[in-house]
Amino acid sequence: MLNCSICGREVSEKDALKRQGETGSEEIICPYCFKQAVGIDYKTFAYRKENARQIFLAVLFCSMVTVYVFFTKGIIYGLFGVLLTIIVWWFAGKAK
């Protein structure tokens, strides 16, 4: 069992959130204190972070393919690729 650095509660190692403080020392934060500080629980925060990373990678891949197609096939296919990239970005952000 670990103790929360903020409130002093005992937290199991599975539920404890670890981070480096401003001084470089390791701090232990319980899920309740994290929710109080950020406004959402940690599972939702982690889900949104992973979703943002996946959207970034998808748009980056579509952009690279669009540039390649623009130079090899021409402007029409390049514009279609830009449109497809915008659609991927739009709908990936709307998915829940």
Confidence of residue 95 (pLDDT cuts 50, 70, 90): low
CATH 3.30.60 fits 2-38, yes or no: yes
pLDDT, tens only, 39-81: 888 888 888 888 889 889 989 999 999 999 999 999 999 999 9
Confidence of residue 82 (pLDDT cuts 50, 70, 90): very high
Tokens describing residue 35: 């929710």
Residues with Cβ within 8 Å of 39's Cβ and at least 6 positions away in sequence, in order, are none
Q: What average pLDDT is seen over the chain?
A: 85
Q: What was the pLDDT predicted at 4? A: 84
- Return the bridge partners of 27, or none: 19
